[in-house]
A and B are shown apart, each in its own frame.
Chain A
Amino acid sequence: MILPINWLKDYCKTEKKYSEIADIFHSIGFTPDEITKEYIDLEITPNRGDAVSVYGLSREINAFLNKPFTDYSKPSQFTKKKNSIISFDNEKAKESVPTYAYLVIEGPLPKKSPAYIAQRLKQININPKNNIVDLTNYLMHEYGQPLHAFDLEKINKLEIGFGKKGEKAVLLGDTEVSITEENLIARSNNTIVDLVGISGCTNSAVCASTTKILMQAAIFTPSVIRKSAKVAGLQTPASYRYERGVDPNAPTYALEKAARILEGWGYNIVEKNIIVNCKNKEKTILFDYALIPNLTGIKVDEKTSRSILTRLGFKVVKNKIIVPSWRTYDIQSPVDLVEEVIRIYGYHNIKPQALPSNPKPPQKTNQHNVNELITTLAGMGLTEVKSTSFISKKEASIFGFDEKSLIEIEKPLSAEYVYMRPSLAPKMFEALSKNPWYDKFTIFEIGNIFKNGQEAVNIALATTNKNHCLGELLPLCDIVKISPEAKTAQLYKIKRQFFYAEAPIEKIAPTLLANKMPTTHNKYKTISKFPPVVRDISFLVKDSTSIEVVSRDIATTEDAILIVEPLDEFESPKFEGKKSITLRITYQKINETLTTQHAETLHNRVREYLIKKYQASIRE
């Protein structure tokens, strides 16, 4: 919701700077998405239909600024005429339109709007059209009440009801929509002239020759407009507001303001009518003020609480709180009132308070087994991968999964999201294909799989290492040898032999839980779009030198070094008090392919560095 600062100041007398105003809105529950000197764009949560307007937001900030509440919804003289232009097809249509108010207006031809209206519309990204249409848009943004102007010479009646399958309507902006039984529409002479609550139709729009106008301001049931907009695949500023709930009293005060402005422009208000199908019931909540400290942990005295509620427009009679008409959609119970008080009082005033110590110590659960398993496997030299939970149709067919046993996604966004994975294999194979530059490695994944309507946790292991120890790890599982000729290997372009095993986690977890590995705190380094070069280096150093320290040290010597891995470490009598260390270094260049020659230069520099700093003798 774009809130122009100068427009807000029509309703809120404050000298605060735009940035302070943004901070205030943030502190009371409206997150600013964009802040400029001219306007603030605020996120309005779906429960706050009342705040999708300049006036609505002014009520909020005035409550915060401790200004007395000013009600602009003055009583107005709308007649309840019996034989109105408006009629309803049936009870269901009637129930969908609790209130329908309108003006009948006669006067000069539409012309350009005054500058202040045109400018403000531009600020909220609406192109000015003519003074009548602009006024409806202007007042919608000001009060949150959608208005619509019909050319009364193009319609003679408005019959409100639900659509029929096969009907079509051409909306403002020349969009054609197919109508269904879910769409609330208005007809005149059996022609659809309005997609109610969403958009008017071109056939009844105000144009350059219009001299008689019906200006509508109505309340429609939020869920009816939501369904209608959904099936039409549309969201308009009007439907957005109706879905969230428009103040039941807004039709008359919005039209009242329209009438005053129109009269100022030389128009005659011929009729001011209102049809009330369903009276807005006043909502009263019995409120125990002790709920505030009980729930929040801070004391707000009763006087302050009452003052906050009153400033927000609630009527407070001791512990009876009457909800203002514009909040009837979201204020339903005492806890809602606690939030109202505390958000204006300020969340920052709540002092943190430690949780009391828990008498029940936590129990060991399955999650512990999984975590232990992951640390154990990593400690043994395996690397954990995570992959998406979806597979494509192509993957399903290559792996020969029975489509009937798979869980299929409704209207998938892309071909990658067609089925839930019934096995970890497709993405494990993909991971193997993604790492051609590393020769011997072993990876694993633990994740949920979906098969025959059942969900289970599987573990999968894959290795390119011929001397693998999968047999030791998985004594109870089948280990499959996959050759590059296999259909699956070809799909993923895996050009080497590897071994794969997968099993339900509970089958192997108990045999696996042993030595652990600490977590790291390494920062991420940007990975090049170009392939890396991987080189090993072996050297002799003093026995006291730590392989981890040397690895971390070398990683900082060149920008082109992405990863340094300790690969091997051993002592031998023939080294005379020294030990042998082997490191594996992944080199890359960010903006281009790293050539073998350049990699050799870099590798030489590492050799020289090791010799100089650690008095290493290079082996190789």
Chain B
Amino acid sequence: MPKLPRGHIHPTTQLLTRAISAMEKIGFEVLTGPELTTERLNFDVLRIPKDHPARDTQDTFWTKDGKVLRTHTSAMQIPAMAQKKPPVRILIPGRVFRNESTDATHEAVLYQLEGFVIEKDTTMANLIWTLNYLLKELLGKDIKTKFFPHNYPFVEPGMDVMIKWQGRWLEVLGSGMIHPEVLHNMGVESDKWQGFAFGIGIDRLMMLERGVDDIRWSLSGDLRFLKQF
């Protein structure tokens, strides 16, 4: 095989690969799952009921036969636990879909990395440590983080994470302690086990890391973009 010219790996793949190997070092295993899922797995079992405004926070693609293109990788939490028993440390990378018009900062097809831990006495202090570790691995050891309360129906307490990037504080991910009802829906006894979950938007992080100013380059197939990385 010829050695040159060399090829290029999509910057989102590169970032995901680095995230995965960092998390494998601290004992996470990687699972994947279908992009097309059900209303039950994407919403209901995650405590996002049909007649509640929480549904509005995620514009959803529905198929004609009533299925859902997953709006977040959290839709994989319950299927993942169907194959596993705690204690677990699981990582789920993949595509998610948002039914909204695209512009420089919005895409209908996005990448997320979901992570969750279910063990005997995992705490928010562990969650904060883990997120600091991951963000430092991805964006450099000097990265500054801040943690804020935020409500996501499937975690309680819920938490948002901001990083300081070029002088500005930016929100980069949502997380929290897995809600006991969600643990129950996973088939896990919530009086014996507890854990945390987080979901990171990978495209946004890639754009920060590389300085990309328009998300639409990512799926453009334009070699002037891809050959830069």
Interface residues of A (CB under 8 A from B): 26-29, 31, 45-48, 222-223, 226-227, 243-244, 294-298, 330, 333, 335-336, 338-339, 342-343, 347-348, 350-355, 357-358, 360-363, 365-368, 371, 374-375, 377-390, 407-411, 413-414, 417, 420, 427-428, 430-431, 434-435, 438, 441-443, 448, 450, 455, 469, 472, 517, 519-520, 522-527, 532, 547, 562-563, 565-569, 584, 586, 588
Contact = CB atoms under 8 A, between A and B. Distances in A.
Contact of A431 (B129, B160, B221): B221
Given A295-B124, A350-B125, A388-B109, A45 B5 contact: no
Contacts of B117: 355
A357 B87 CA distance: 12
B129 A352 contact: yes
B227 A450 contact: no
Given A294-B121, A295-B157, A365 B31 contact: yes
Contacts of A338: 156-157
Contacts of B67: 407
A375 B1 contact: no
Interface residues of B, number: 94
B36 A420 contact: yes
Given A350-B125, A380-B1, A519 B29 contact: no
A348 B145 CA distance: 10
B40 interface: no
B51 A417 contact: no
Given A294-B123, A343-B149, A353-B125, A335 B156 contact: yes
A366 B34 CA distance: 13
17 contacts: A295-B123, A343-B149, A354-B126, A355-B122, A366-B32, A374-B13, A381-B4, A384-B7, A386-B219, A409-B62, A410-B61, A410-B64, A420-B36, A434-B220, A519-B9, A563-B227, A586-B224
B147 A348 contact: yes
Contacts of B20: 367, 371
A333 B128 CA distance: 23
Given A298-B125, A520-B14, A333 B180 contact: yes
B164 to A, nearest CB: 14
A46 B27 contact: no
B93 to A, nearest CB: 7
A343 B157 contact: yes
Contacts of A382: 7
Nearest to A44: B151
Contacts of A47: 54, 151, 153
B141 interface: no
A29 B156 CA distance: 13
B26 interface: yes
A588 B1 CA distance: 32
B29 A46 contact: no
A522 B125 contact: no
A46 B26 contact: no
A390 to B, nearest CB: 7
Contacts of A563: 224, 227-228
Max chain A C-beta neighbours (<10 A), residue from B35, B62, B99, B156:
B156
B221 A387 contact: yes
B63 interface: yes
B65 interface: yes
B211 A383 contact: no
Contact of A386 (B10, B18, B129): B10
A295 B194 CA distance: 8
Contact of A29 (B26, B28, B128, B150): B150
Interface string B88-100: 0100010101011
B222 A295 contact: no
Contacts of B101: 413-414
Nearest to A371: B17
A519 B170 CA distance: 25
A389 B69 CA distance: 10
B126 A297 contact: yes
A233 to B, nearest CB: 13
A414 B221 CA distance: 20
A438 B160 contact: no
A388 B101 CA distance: 14
Per CB-CB distance, the 6 closest pairs between chain A and chain B, nearest first, are A358-B27, A297-B125, A431-B221, A297-B123, A339-B157, A29-B149
Nearest to A568: B4
A588 B227 CA distance: 14
Contact of A523 (B29, B57, B95, B210): B210
Contact of B1 (A362, A469, A522, A532): A469
B148 A352 contact: no
A433 to B, nearest CB: 9
Given A27-B148, A294-B121, A455-B36, A566 B5 contact: yes
A548 B10 CA distance: 19
Given A365-B30, A448-B34, 18 more contacts: A27-B149, A29-B149, A347-B159, A350-B124, A350-B125, A351-B125, A355-B126, A389-B35, A410-B61, A413-B99, A420-B63, A430-B221, A443-B223, A455-B34, A522-B228, A523-B210, A566-B4, A566-B5
Max chain A C-beta neighbours (<10 A), residue from B31, B179, B210, B224:
B224
Contacts of A407: 36, 63-65, 67
A126 B30 CA distance: 51
Max chain B C-beta neighbours (<10 A), residue from A26, A362, A428, A567:
A362
Contacts of A448: 34-35, 95
B42 interface: no
A520 B209 CA distance: 11
A227 B51 contact: yes
A378 B9 contact: yes
A502 to B, nearest CB: 15
A517 B227 contact: no
Contact of A517 (B7, B26, B57, B109): B7
Nearest to B221: A431
Contacts of A411: 62
Contacts of A28: 149
A348 B146 contact: yes
A343 B95 CA distance: 32
A222 B49 CA distance: 12
Contacts of B100: 413
Nearest to B37: A455
Contacts of B227: 383, 563, 565, 586
Contacts of B147: 347-348, 350
Contacts of A339: 149, 156-158
A358 B89 contact: yes
Contact of B224 (A354, A413, A428, A562): A562
Interface in B29-75: 29-32, 34-36, 51-54, 56-57, 61-65, 67, 69
